[in-house]
A and B are shown apart, each in its own frame.
Chain A
C-alpha cells in the first residue's frame, strides 16, 4: 500500500517536473531522506509501543554541537568523540525510558521535558555561540561519495539492513515492541520485562537520533543551533504516513519509506517554488488524510 503511494507520488512529481525522474535526482532525494529516515526508524519503535519521542531535534542538535566543538576539524579524535555521543545518546534514551516505564510519566511530557534539559545542556556547553567543525571522516560520511553513490546512502542501507535483519526479528526486544503497544496490560502480564523493553526502545530511538545527527553534521560540516529544527514533526509524520500506529500495528520497515515520502513531497514543493507555509499545510493535510485512510482498516 505504501509503495503504491510512493510510486504515485513519484509519477506526479514526474509530471510536474520531468527532471525529477532522473536517476541522479532520485538518488539525491534518497540522500536527503537519510537523517530523517534514521530518526524515523527510532521514532517508529517508540510509537509502536504507544509512546512518542519529542527529544529527537534536541538530540540531533546536541550531537552537532558536541562533535563540532570536540573535533575542531581534527581527524584523530573521531572514534572517541563518536563513541562519546553514542553513549550520551544511550544515556538520554535510558533516562527517558526509565521515567516513562517506572514512574509512568506520559511519554510526551517526559521527552519534551528532556528536550528542554538537552537544550539547556548544550547551550551551557557551547556558551551561546556554536563553534567548530567536524572531522574529515564525518564529513565523508555526510557528503562523500563512493563510486558516485553518496556514502551516507550506503551507510543508511547498511544500518537499515542491520536493524531489520538482526535486531527486529531476532531479538526478543525487537519482537516485543509490537505487542507492548497493542495491549500493554497483556504484555506486562505475559511476563516480559516490560520496563527493560521500554528503556531499550527509547534508548534505541535516542541512539538513532545521534546517528542521524552525525550524518547531518557531516553534511553541513559546521556547528549550528538550527540543525535539528523540524525533525520532531517530520519524524512523526514519516512514521504516521507509513501506516504505523500507536497500537502496535504497522511494520518498522515502513519508516524509511515514510521518510522518503515526506522528503519527496518537500522536494517537489520546493521545486515548484512553494515555500514554508504551503509545505506545512501540505504536510499537515497529508498526515490527516493518510492516517484516516489507514484508520479505516482498523
Chain B
C-alpha cells in the first residue's frame, strides 16, 4: 500500500514538471526565433549529455542518502587523459585511453564506497577528500588547459544523425534506458531504494547494504567518466577544472527533479526533468543575453525554490 501511494505522488510531480518544461519551451519558441532555430536545437542536444550522465550517477548515490562530490574531478580527469593519451588516426590509443579512464573512475568510486560503507564515514567528507586528492593529481598531470583530442575520437560523439541529433545524445538515451531498467527491473535497483529508504531494515532483510553502497558509488564515478568523455570530445582538449561546475550542477539537477536527500524516493525520470530544466534555463538565459552575474543569482534561486518545493512535499 505504501508503494502505491508513492507511485501516485511521484507521477503527479513528474507530470507537473514535464508540463512546466513544455510551457517553457512553448513560451521560448514563441518569443524567440533563435530558440526555434535548428542550430539552437542542436545546441541543446549537445548540452544535455554531459550533465545527464553525471546526474544519472548522482541520482543513484542520492537515492541511498549519500552524495558524490568527486564527480567533477572524475570528469576533469577524463578530459585530461583523453587530451594527453589519444593519438590521431590511432583507434587503439583511443580504446586504451577510454579503458584507462573507466578503470580509474571505478577505482575512485570503489575507494569512496569503501570508506563510506565499511568505515562508516560521512559521504560528504569522503567524496570531498577524494575529490581534492584527484584534483591534485589532475593539476599535477596537466596544470593548464591543453592537450588535444583527435578527431577520430571526437567524431564518435559529434557526428549528427540526419544532421540534427549528435551521437552523444544517442548514447545518453541508451544509458538512460539502461539505468532505468537497472533501477526498476533488477533486484540491485530495488535494493538501492531499500537501502535509501531504511538502511537498517534493509540490512536486517538480508540485503548486503555495503555491496550496494560501494556499487552505487562506483556507478556514479563511471557515469562521471562518461560525462567527462563527452565533455572532452566537445572541448577537443583537456582542462583540470573542466568538471568543477558539474558537481553541484548534477546535485541541482537531481534536486530540481524531485529526488530527495532522504533517500528511497525518486529516480532518474525525475532527474531527467531536472536535467532538461537546467539545460533549457542556461540556453534561454544565454539567448536572451542575460549577463553571467544575473545568471548566477537566478541559478541559486532556482535551486533554492526546487529544494523548498521538494522538501515541502514530504
Contacts and interface: CB of A to CB of B under 8 A. Distances in A.
Given A120-B294, A284-B129, A287-B129, A99 B136 contact: no
A128 interface: yes
B125 A287 contact: yes
A85 interface: no
A114 B128 contact: no
Nearest to A287: B129
A288 B115 contact: yes
A67 to B, nearest CB: 20
Contacts of B300: 112-117, 120
A52 B69 CA distance: 14
B307 A106 contact: yes
Nearest to A281: B136
Interface in B181-227: none
Contacts of A108: 67, 124, 251
A73 B162 CA distance: 62
Contact of A278 (B125, B129, B136, B138): B136
Interface bin, chain B:
35 or more
A284 B143 contact: no
A280 B133 contact: yes
B1 interface: no
B135 interface: yes
A123 B133 contact: no
B119 interface: yes
A295 B115 CA distance: 11
Interface string B284-314: 0000000001111111110110011001101
A4 interface: no
Interface in A142-197: none
A283 B119 contact: no
Contact of A288 (B120, B124, B126, B312): B126
Given A280-B132, A284-B130, A287-B129, A124 B304 contact: no
A280 B124 contact: no
Interface string A217-242: 00000000000000001001000100
A121 B119 CA distance: 41
What are the 4 tightest A-B residue pairs by CB atom distance, in nearest-first order? A116-B300, A280-B136, A120-B297, A284-B132
Interface of A: 52, 99, 103-106, 108-110, 112-117, 119-121, 123-124, 128, 233, 236, 240, 245-246, 276-285, 287-288, 291-292, 295, 298
Contact of B301 (A104, A113, A123): A113
B303 A104 contact: no
Given A106-B261, A279-B136, A288-B129, A117 B308 contact: no
Nearest to A233: B132
B54 interface: no
B292 to A, nearest CB: 8
A124 B131 contact: no
Nearest to A116: B300
A27 B297 CA distance: 40
B122 interface: yes
B293 A123 contact: yes
A121 B298 CA distance: 11
Interface in B248-280: 248, 251-252, 255, 261
Given A117-B297, A240-B125, A276 B308 contact: no
B133 A246 contact: no
A47 to B, nearest CB: 10
B164 interface: no
Given A104-B314, A106-B261, A113-B304, 8 more contacts: A99-B308, A109-B255, A120-B298, A124-B297, A282-B136, A284-B128, A292-B119, A295-B119
30 contacts: A99-B308, A103-B308, A103-B311, A103-B312, A105-B308, A109-B251, A110-B307, A112-B248, A113-B300, A113-B307, A116-B303, A120-B293, A120-B295, A124-B294, A233-B128, A276-B139, A278-B140, A282-B136, A284-B128, A284-B131, A284-B133, A285-B133, A287-B125, A288-B133, A291-B122, A291-B125, A292-B115, A292-B119, A292-B121, A298-B120
A287 B136 contact: no
B91 interface: no
Nearest to A296: B119
Contacts of A106: 261, 307, 311
A124 B307 contact: no
Contacts of B132: 233, 280-281, 283-284, 287
A297 B115 CA distance: 15
